[in-house]
Structures are given as structure tokens and as C-alpha cells.
């Protein structure tokens, strides 16, 4: 056997010795674009190319090493190559699906990130299998995937819904009502499931909220992206050098642009969007205040009143309020008849004046109430854009209202209309300024607030974090909360002025993010009250 062929025959040992056991490449915590990140990508790109030379006698070691790698935490840019490699291995060796992939999918205690990858792998194995084994794979893989549609983990549940929907659309084309009546029970169930996933409002809302495809570089609707990705995805081409180094989705741009230039473009666009958003918000506030100004209220919208004003001579077309506010000696029937034409019209205008005065009083009272609320607000902004669980966001809205924070930043303001949010928040969002800051604009927002004189803090345990009870809060504070479980990303930690942590005495040492935010906001309030 030639030396080069012998080396290819042992390619499977590369997985175990290089990416599984290597000290650097097996790390789960590493920065985006770091040396380890780039080495991981190159290593798995190489393994994908070599997957065409996989042999039957090495499948046991390959499957074990692959499972170990998929179970670890990896950035999406790395994980996509693990999934590509796994899809090609299972397609090349169909018996491995029932022996290895099905038992893994039935491990319901697996980490959600790893389980999401296996759902993606299983869906593509079904979609791209040969006709001879496609429906056999469907019978093997769909039953363990369907229970994940009810997963408590919202990202796993939503992702599974998208993939199952794609499988059902391809393998269960829509049938007419007559044909559906003659279908077996399981096919009717799948047909109704497909219709539910396509038309249910909650499913559509979840799809809209889940915005980042695997690379996370372009924000688009996940359903549209997933459909484009699955349509363009070819397992055989994906493990060739050309397939590895070209765009996975045709719509993605800037693939060959240097990262530094791309970051500058994104930073510029985010700055422009943030400035435009603030300008539009100021315009809305200005228009709203002007429309509520009692001195600008005009009752000429009444059709009769408007016609009367138009019919008056130019010298009598004075301010409406001034014309109907008559002195006592002018309120006789003769003057009324000569000025307005008849007594009935005059009485209608007097009633309108009374209503107008009452409206003025109500508007003034509301304006004073809003001014008192704004005057009593604390200069504290809570940034929760990295959170996506509705109960946590609704609870933080209540906390901000209780302690009169000056703002709550969230990734998507549409969540305010969610029924679950409204049930938990009990109208707190109506009294707290809600700031929409998408995830990819958090850094721009924080840098802007820093220029405005705010101190940017993060609630995170780091090597230099300060215990909450020992930290003195500045008056103008912006507090950033991290993602559930993952915490604050490293690139955001670098721009923080300080990190504070809540001293914990228990064994688990893990507080719910809503509870953590409430504790920090109370400590800030306590310090401000004691000044």
C-alpha cells in the first residue's frame, strides 16, 4: 500500500488525537476569531474533506469521537462542520443511523445545544438519504424527534418545529380533503401537525424571534433562512474544498471581505441605525407632546363648527375659544341670534366649550402626573437585550417599575404584546420606558451611553468582579445582564467599566437572571436612598 494511501486509511485517528484529546482544540471556552477558534475551524474542515475516505472498520471510534465533540460547547462556526461531517458519515453508512443516532436522540437528558445539533443532523439524513433508505430513516428518526416539539427549552423546541416542518413538507405533500379522509391515522396526524406548524400564531412568533442562523452574521427570518439553507445544502458538495469555502446560503454577502473591514461596516451601520432610532423617538415624543398641549387643541374638527368658521367674515374668524367665551351682557337672545344665527347652535358651542375645558383639565392632570413620574425616576438603565425568556423579561419589567428605573432595554419590543408577558408584567411596561436594543446593537448602545456619562456595569462573575455589597454605584448607571447560563459575552465584558457579582454561599451558586437583576437594582436603590 502506498504511503499516502496508508495515511488516508488512518485518517480517523485524527479525530481522536487532534480535535478530541488535543489540549487546545478540546477547549470549550475560547474567543471568537482567536487562534484556537481558527485552528478548530481548519481542523474540522480538513476532517470534512477526509470523510469521503471513512472505512467501515473504524466507525466505532469515529462515532464515539464525534459524539464527544458534539457534546462539547463550540461556537456555531465550528459546530456547522461537525454537523456536516456527521451527516455525511450517517448517509454513507445507513446502518449506523439505527445503531448510533437513534439511541442518542432518545437521550432526553442531553445538553440542549448538542441535542439541537443531532436534530439538525437527523433531519438532513432524512431529507438527503437515497430513495432506497429514506423512508426507513423516517421511521427510525422521526419518532424520537417528535417529543422534542414539546421541549421546555424554547430554542430546541422552535428549532425542532422548523426542521420537522421541512421534513413533513417534503415527504408528506399537501393532499385534498377527500384524500385526507382515506389516509391512515398517522398520516392524518402528520398532516395536521404540518398545518399547525405553518399557521399557528405562536409558532410564527417564535420563528420571528429566533433570528440568528448558524453563522449569526446576517439577521434574517429563521424560517426563510432555514428553507434557503436546506434547499441549497448538498451533503456531497459540502465536504469538498469548494463546498467548504463557498457560501452556504446564496443570500449571504461579504463572505470574502476581511473581518476587520466587515466589522467597520457593521459598526457604521449600527451607529447610523442607533442615531436614526433615537431621532425618530425624539420626533415621536415631540409630536405627542404637541398634540397633548392644551394651547394647541383645536375643536374645529367638528363638521358644523368648521363650516361656521369658514362662513364667518375674515374679521370675525378669531380664536375659537375667544369667540364662544362671551360676557354676561352679550348672552341675550338678540345678540346670540345676530352673532350665531340661532340659539341652538350657540348652545351646542357652549357645551363644546365645557367639554373642552374638562379635557384641558384632564390633560393637564395627566401631564403633571407624567412629569412627577419622570422627575422621580432613577438614572438607572437595565439592559436585558441578551435575555429571551418571557418570564424573566416580564419580571424585570415589574422590578424596573417598582424601583423607578429610567429604562429597560430589550431585544424586541414586540414581546410587549405577548399574552404571557402581559400576564406577568401586570402593566408595568406602561410605566417604564422600554428601549429596543437588538442583540447586535448592544455594544453600540453601551458605547453611546458611556459618552453620555453613564457608568457601564455588568452583573457577571469574573476574575476581577467586585462583590455587590462592596461596590458603590454611580448615580448614572447602566447594568448589563448576561444570557441565561452563558452569561455576558467576552466582547461586551471588554467595554464594561466594572463587573459586579452577588456573593453566594450555597453549593449550586446559580441565581435566576431575573432574581439577580432585582437584587442589583435594589442595592442601587438602597444606596441612592441613603445619600
pLDDT band at 162 (very low <50, low <70, confident <90, very high): confident
Q: Is the pLDDT of residue 163 over 70?
A: yes
For the stretch 421-461, pLDDT in tens is 999 999 999 889 999 999 999 999 999 999 999 999 999 98
What was the pLDDT predicted at 288? 60
Query: 456 phi and psi, to 5 degrees?
Result: -100, 115
Between residues 500 and 507, which one has the greater pLDDT?
500
The set of cell numbers assigned to 273 is: 441605525
Q: Which of 325, 346, 372 is the last residue of a domain?
A: 372
Examine the domain organization and report whether 387 and 513 are in the same domain: yes
Q: Specify whether 424 is located in the same domain as 522.
A: yes
What integer pLDDT is reported at residue 271 of this predicted model? Answer: 77
Mean pLDDT of 37-41: 87
Same domain, 415 and 496: yes
Residues 6+ apart with CB under 8 A from 237: 243
Torsion, CA 331, CA 337, CA 343, CA 349, rounded to 10: -70
- Clarify whether residues 344 and 418 are in a common domain: no
pLDDT of res. 348:
60
| CA dihedral sign, ordered 406, 412, 413, 419 | negative
Last residue of a domain, one of 372, 406, 430: 372
Q: Which domain covers residue 265, as residue numbers?
A: 257-290
Please give the helix or strand (H or E) that residue 478 lies within, else none. Answer: strand 477-481
pLDDT computed for residue 226 by the predictor: 52
**Do residues 510 and 392 share a domain?**
yes
**Domain end marker among 268, 290, 312:** 290
What whole-number percentage of the chain has pLDDT above 90? 28
Return the H-helix or E-strand segment holding 409: strand 405-410
Q: What is the pLDDT of residue 190?
A: 78
Please tell me the predicted confidence (pLDDT) of residue 334: 46
Question: How many domains is the chain partitioned into structurally?
Answer: 3
Domain presence at residue 440: yes
Say if residue 385 is in the same domain as residue 524.
Answer: yes
- DSSP annotation of 482 reads P
- CATH number assigned to the domain comprising residue 526: 3.40.1280.10
Asked whether residue 386 falls in the same domain as residue 501, the answer is yes
Verify that 525 and 458 share a domain, yes or no.
yes
Q: Is residue 5 in some structural domain?
A: no
Position 187 confidence tier, pLDDT thresholds 50, 70, 90: confident
Instruction: Quote the crossing angle between the two packed helices 185-199 and 154-171, to the nearest 10°.
Output: 120
In this structure, the answer to whether residues 408 and 525 fall within a common structural domain is yes
Q: Give yes or no: residues 448 and 390 share one domain.
A: yes
In a domain, 347, yes or no: yes
Question: Do residues 276 and 317 both lie within one domain?
Answer: no
Amino acid at each position: 500500500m502506498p504511503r499516502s494511501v496508508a495515511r488516508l486509511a488512518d485518517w480517523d485517528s485524527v479525530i481522536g488525537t487532534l480535535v478530541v484529546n488535543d489540549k487546545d482544540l478540546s477547549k470549550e471556552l475560547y474567543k471568537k476569531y482567536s487562534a484556537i477558534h481558527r485552528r478548530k475551524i481548519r481542523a474540522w474542515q480538513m476532517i470534512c474533506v477526509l470523510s469521503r475516505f471513512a472505512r467501515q472498520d473504524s466507525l466505532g471510534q469515529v462515532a464515539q469521537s464525534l459524539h464527544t465533540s458534539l457534546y462539547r460547547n463550540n461556537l456555531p462556526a465550528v459546530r456547522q462542520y461537525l454537523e456536516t461531517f456527521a451527516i455525511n458519515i450517517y448517509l454513507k453508512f445507513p446502518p449506523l443511523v439505527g445503531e448510533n443516532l437513534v439511541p442518542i436522540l432518545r437521550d432526553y437528558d442531553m445538553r440542549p445545544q448538542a441535542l439541537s445539533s443531532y436534530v439538525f443532523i437527523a433531519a438532513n439524513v432524512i431529507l438527503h438519504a437515497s430513495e432506497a433508505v429514506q423512508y426507513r430513516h423516517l421511521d427510525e428518526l422521526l419518532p424520537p424527534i417528535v417529543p422534542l416539539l414539546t421541549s421546555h427549552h424554547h430554542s430546541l423546541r422552535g428549532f425542532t418545529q422548523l426542521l420537522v416542518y421541512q421534513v413533513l413538507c417534503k415527504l408528506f405533500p399537501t393532499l385534498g380533503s377527500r384524500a385526507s379522509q382515506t389516509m391512515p391515522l398517522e398520516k392524518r396526524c402528520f398532516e395536521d401537525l404540518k398545518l399547525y406548524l405553518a399557521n399557528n400564531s405562536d409558532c410564527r412568533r417564535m420563528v420571528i424571534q429566533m433570528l440568528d442562523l448558524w453563522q449569526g452574521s446576517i439577521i434574517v427570518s429563521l424560517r426563510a433562512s432555514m428553507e434557503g439553507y436546506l434547499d441549497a445544502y448538498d451533503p456531497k458538495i459540502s465536504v469538498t474544498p469548494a463546498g467548504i469555502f463557498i457560501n452556504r446560503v446564496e443570500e449571504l454577502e461579504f463572505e470574502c471581505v476581511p473581518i476587520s473591514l466587515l466589522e467597520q461596516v457593521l459598526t457604521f451601520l449600527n451607529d447610523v441605525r442607533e442615531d436614526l432610532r433615537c431621532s425618530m423617538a425624539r420626533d415621536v415624543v415631540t409630536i405627542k407632546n404637541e398634540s397633548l398641549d392644551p394651547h394647541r387643541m383645536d375643536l374645529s374638527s367638528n363638521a358644523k363648527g368648521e363650516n361656521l368658521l369658514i362662513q364667518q367674515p375674515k374679521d370675525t374668524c378669531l380664536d375659537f375659544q375667544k369667540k364662544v367665551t362671551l360676557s354676561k351682557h352679550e348672552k341675550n337672545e338678540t345678540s346670540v341670534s345676530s352673532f350665531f344665527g340661532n340659539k341652538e347652535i350657540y348652545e351646542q358651542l357652549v357645551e363644546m366649550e365645557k367639554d373642552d375645558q374638562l379635557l384641558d383639565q384632564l390633560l393637564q392632570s395627566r401631564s403633571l402626573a407624567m412629569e412627577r413620574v419622570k422627575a422621580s425616576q432613577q438614572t438607572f438603565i437595565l439592559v436585558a437585550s441578551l435575555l429571551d425568556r418571557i418570564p424573566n423579561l416580564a419580571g424585570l419589567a415589574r422590578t424596573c417599575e417598582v424601583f423607578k428605573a429610567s429604562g429597560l432595554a430589550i431585544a424586541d419590543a414586540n414581546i410587549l404584546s405577548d399574552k404571557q408577558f402581559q400576564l406577568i408584567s401586570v402593566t408595568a411596561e406602561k410605566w417604564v420606558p422600554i428601549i429596543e436594543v437588538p442583540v447586535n446593537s448592544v455594544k453600540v448602545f453601551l458605547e453611546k451611553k458611556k459618552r453620555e456619562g453613564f457608568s457601564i456595569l455588568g452583573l457577571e462573575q469574573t476574575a476581577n468582579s467586585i462583590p455587590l455589597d462592596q461596590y458603590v454605584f454611580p448615580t448614572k448607571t447602566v447594568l448589563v445582564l448576561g444570557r441565561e447560563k452563558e452569561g455576558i459575552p467576552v466582547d461586551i465584558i471588554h467595554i464594561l467599566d466594572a463587573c459586579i457579582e452577588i456573593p453566594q454561599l450555597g453549593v449550586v451558586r446559580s441565581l435566576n437572571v431575573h432574581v439577580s437583576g432585582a437584587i442589583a437594582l435594589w442595592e442601587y436603590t438602597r444606596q441612592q436612598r441613603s445619600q
